[in-house]
Amino acid sequence: MAEKTIAKLRVVETEFADPIANEAGIATAIWAKQPLTYREDAVEIVQGEPEEEPLYSHENDAPEDVDYAGTGVSATGSFIKATREQMVGLMGGSVVGEGEAAQYAHPASLLTLNKAIRFTCKDGSKVIIPNAKGYVLLNLNIGKGGLGKFPFRFNCQAASPDWKCDILL
């Protein structure tokens, strides 16, 4: 059985920056704080099960050989308490009006984000994804005690052809 990596993080802060192509770029990245993450939806960083392709012969029931192809790492969770301006940055759309009358106009198409992500954990450690591509969705519960929740999913990609790193723990 293949080993599966799962890290459940207690997050203090999530930040985005432009994608980082090399290790030196981490120190010079300009990080922008994002909304809080929702504790009930733990931020999970999971590597999928590898794909396997066994090679069989007619003479044996067991495979002669097996080829494995790795699958990517993804980060999932949810943001809460996003401002209207943050919603525009995460999902696209626009803010209509000003002050108390301001409203968020959600777009009819999905905004794909390509960012570097830095999670700061409660123990002070940092998890950095130098190049992530993904999206943030709208999920509203309107009514008494309602919650505006914004689920996200980012797939970790290689930082660059020269730096084949998809996550730093």
**Domain edges within the chain:** 12-48+73-156
Q: What is the pLDDT of residue 3?
A: 62
Give phi and psi for 155, each to the nearest 5. -100, 130
Residue 136 has pLDDT above 90, yes or no: yes
Tell me, what's the pLDDT at 41? 78
In which residue are the tokens 């009514």 written?
Answer: 143
Q: How confident is the model at residue 115 (pLDDT cuts 50, 70, 90)?
A: very high
Distance, CA of 66 to chain centre: 31
Q: Which helix (H) or strand (E) holds 25?
A: helix 25-28
Cα–Cα dist 39/28, whole Å: 30
Q: How far apart are the first and last CA of the chain?
A: 24
pLDDT of residue 144: 65
Bridge-partner residues for 95, per DSSP? 104
Average pLDDT, the chain: 91
pTM for the full predicted model: 0.86
pLDDT range class, residue 70, cuts 50, 70, 90 = confident
